[in-house]
Amino acid sequence: MNAVASLPRPGAVPRAVPPAQPPQPRLGLLGTGTVGAAFVARCAQLRGQGVALPEFAWLSNSRALAGCDPGAAGEVLQRLRAAPARGGGFPPWVESEGLRRGDVIVDASDSDVVASWHSEWLLRGIHVATANKLGAGSDSVRAQAIVRACSEGGGRYGDAATVGAGLPLLRSIRALVAGGDRIHAIEGVLSGSLAWLFDRHDASTPFADLVRAACAAGYAEPDPRIDLSGEDVRRKLLILARAAGFAIEPREVVVESLLPPALATADAADVDARLGMLDTPLRERHSAAARRGDTLAYVGRVDAAGARAELRALDAAHPLRAGAGTDNRVAIWSDRYHARPLLIQGPGAGAAVTAAALLDDVLAITRGCSRGSALDDVHRQATA
């Protein structure tokens, strides 16, 4: 399905006499899961603190789209969450709602179709703040289209929420590159759920029980296989790699899946019953590491030789050895940081920090260019 093909061409948009005052930017929210709900809640909280924010024009999920009066976003969100499933396609976000240049789309979905629209919006001067990794974390044609669209259309792309839930990773990598540094390698614990699982995991606890606890706490996806397969890490590693200037395609990232084939291919309804298949192999990996004083972590690495994501045993001196809970941590080696890396660490999973990162980007966009952020750097890369 190519949703983009159904859009009217930019030339078809009528160009009336420009109004004396440009219209206020408006917010559109896509995705009403835990991140979308936390985003709506954080908007209400910051408004209560007196922070100026655009109003919601509409909210949408894969089942419905609803316009939104000022102050009613919470109610509309609840209504959309309760909407019945519908077949066939997505609501026609653009045509029906007449998005304008300067409006801000917040993509809190995990939809590949929505991600395929990012560049189209940017090209029309509509800004995008996204937690959805399938824009810049998919194939390079799509990632490059996003960079080009920012440059040509003037829309700004806020992607701080896609890796590390807003930890200052992308911004710091882009700042190093802008300052003339060459990035040698990036290595990171990039999955908050896998960080939490291996932080808790020891010989005494069946791994399957930990997975169930991570799902219940909202650290892992409802289908934990997205995390356990390493696919989530693949996308994040691609986003980091591109910020650092490494040209790489999804298929070139060597990813170790933690899933035995019978679990990987199971129907969703059978996943829980088969989680126990993880226990023995991971207990053995843990014991082998512990005998050497090492700890296990699922680590992604990219350097000039390529990219891989895998379960690794880290010795006591490894820079990624620290951290607890859902902490993401990323080590960056560059010309400047060649002997010891720059390390950034902090909570990297959960709806609250992800929503806060989305709102950071919305604020940076709506406050304009005097508010420097990662957004500017994407735009710059396109024009360099």
Q: Which residues are catalytic?
A: 236
Question: Tell me, what DSSP letter sits at residue 275?
Answer: G
With CA atoms as reference, report the closest residue to 300 among 212, 376, 236. Answer: 236
Q: Which is nearer to a second copy, 228 or 374 (CB)?
A: 374
Nearer to a second copy, 149 or 263 (CB): 149
Does position 46 interact with a second copy (CB under 8 A)? The reply is: yes
**Residue 314, strand partner residues:** 295
- Among 123, 266, 344, 365, interactor with a second copy by CB under 8 A: 344
Q: Residue 299 forms beta bridges with which residues?
A: 310
Distance CA 297, CA 285 (A): 11
Q: Does 369 bind a second copy (CB under 8 A)?
A: yes
Binding residues for a second copy, rule CB under 8 A, total: 54
Q: Does 21 bind a second copy (CB under 8 A)?
A: no
Residue ranges in 269-328 that form contacts with a second copy under rule CB under 8 A: 317, 319, 321-322, 324-327
What is the sign of the dihedral through the CA atoms of 64, 267, 250 and 331? Answer: positive
Please tell me whether residue 148 binds a second copy under the rule CB under 8 A. no
34 binds a second copy (CB under 8 A): no
Spatial distance between the Cα atoms of 257 and 278, rounded to a whole number of angstroms: 11
Shortest Å, Cβ 289 to a second copy: 18
193 scored as a contact of a second copy (CB under 8 A)? no
141 binds a second copy (CB under 8 A): no
Residue 347 binds a second copy, judged by CB under 8 A: yes
- In this structure, the number of other CB atoms found within 10 A of the CB of residue 20 comes to 5
Query: In terms of CB distance, is 86 or 371 closer to a second copy?
Result: 371
In sequence order, the β-bridge partners of residue 183 are: 334
Residues contacting residue 40 through CB under 8 Å, at least 6 positions apart: 29, 56, 59, 73, 74, 77
**Per CB under 8 A, 264 contacts a second copy:** no
Asked if 372 interacts with a second copy (CB under 8 A), we say: yes
Would you state the structure tokens that stand for residue 339, as one six-digit string?
Answer: 């002997």
* Span from 2-10, 96-104, 270-278, 336-344 in contact with a second copy (CB under 8 A): 336-344
Q: Which stretch binds a second copy (CB under 8 A): 30-38, 63-71, 286-294, 357-365?
A: 357-365
Q: Choose which of 179, 222, 281, 306 interacts with a second copy (CB under 8 A).
A: 179
Q: How far apart are the first and last CA of the chain?
A: 33
- Which C-beta is closer to a second copy: that of 110 or that of 376? 376
DSSP string, 166-211: G-SSHHHHHHHHHTTPPEEEEEEE--HHHHHHHHH--TTS-HHHHH
CA distance 290 to 21: 65
- In sequence order, what are the residues at sequence separation of 6 or more whose Cβ sits closer than 8 angstroms to the Cβ of residue 370? none
Work out whether 41 is an interface residue with a second copy (CB under 8 A). no
Which CB, 64 or 167, lies closer to a second copy?
Answer: 167
Is 218 an interacting residue with respect to a second copy (CB under 8 A)? no
One of 146, 167, 183, 299 touching a second copy (CB under 8 A): 167
Asked whether the beta carbons of 220 and 211 are under 8 A apart, the reply is yes
Binding segment toward a second copy, per CB under 8 A, in 31-39, 119-127, 140-148, 163-171: 163-171
127 binding a second copy? (CB under 8 A):
no
Nearer Cβ to a second copy (46/264): 46
Within 10 Å of residue 112's Cβ, how many Cβ atoms?
Answer: 13
Spell out where the chain has E strands. 26-30, 55-60, 65-67, 104-107, 127-130, 157-158, 183-189, 253-255, 295-303, 306-314, 327-334, 342-347
The reply to whether 366 sits near a second copy by the rule CB under 8 A is: no
The binding site for a second copy (CB under 8 A) comprises: 42, 45-46, 49, 51, 166-168, 171-172, 175, 178-181, 317, 319, 321-322, 324-327, 329, 336-337, 339-347, 352-353, 356, 359-360, 363-364, 367, 369-377, 379-380
